[in-house]
Amino acid sequence: MADVRITETGFDPLAELARFNAAHRSAGGIVSFLGQVREESGDVEALELRQYAAMTLPGMTALAQMTERRWPLIGLLLLHRYGVMHPGDPIVLVAAAARHRRDAFEAADFAMDHLKSESWFWKREKTAGGWRWVEPRSGDHADLARWRA
């Protein structure tokens, strides 16, 4: 049921959501989240996500399966980009389709919390001062801990 993909090339979030929505017309609710490279006062010139394909796709597939076991979903999309991106570029798109909205909201939130904190990507930002590695914030770990309670 889940559509799990990683890509080095950009993707069109509107086209992806239109395709997802069309495939899940029986859903009573579809929730989506789009993560993009942010502009932080113009400081970030680029963002690079590195990944190891032998871990990334199987890890994301396992996350999708775990998400589908927790909520009665009609469809799930996990689409993540890697490589060098610039402010405004989409990074990640998560969409969950369910009979009822609450299941869709919670499933999308759960998947994003895992992608943000326990991901198979290594992230670094380029600013005027050069490249620096970025680790998950303490708030990201706190978000993830909600699902273990």
pLDDT above 70 for 149: no
Task: Give me the mean pLDDT over the 72-83 stretch.
Answer: 98
pLDDT band at 73 (very low <50, low <70, confident <90, very high): very high
SS3 label, residue 13: helix
pLDDT value of residue 120: 86
Q: Which long-range contacts (CB under 8 A, 24 or more apart) does 13-18 make?
A: 13/90, 13/93, 16/77, 16/79, 16/93, 16/95, 17/93, 17/95
Alpha-carbon distance of 25 to 22, in angstroms, equals 6
Residues whose CB is less than 8 angstroms from the CB of residue 28 and which lie 6 or more positions away in sequence, other chains included: 98, 99, 100, 101
Please report, rounded to a whole number, the percentage of residues in the chain having pLDDT higher than 70: 97
Lowest mean pLDDT of 47-61, 65-79, 88-102, 124-138, name the range: 124-138
Helix axes 138-145, 101-117, angle to 10 degrees: 140
| Greater pLDDT, 42 or 125 | 125
The domain ranges of the chain are: 2-148
Quote the pLDDT of residue 41. Answer: 63
Average pLDDT, the chain: 92
74 and 25 Cβ atoms separated by less than 8 Å:
no
Q: What is the pLDDT of residue 130?
A: 92
Look at 40 and 137; give whichever has higher pLDDT.
137
Give me the pLDDT at residue 2, please: 95
**CATH code reported for the domain at 2-148:** 3.90.1170.40
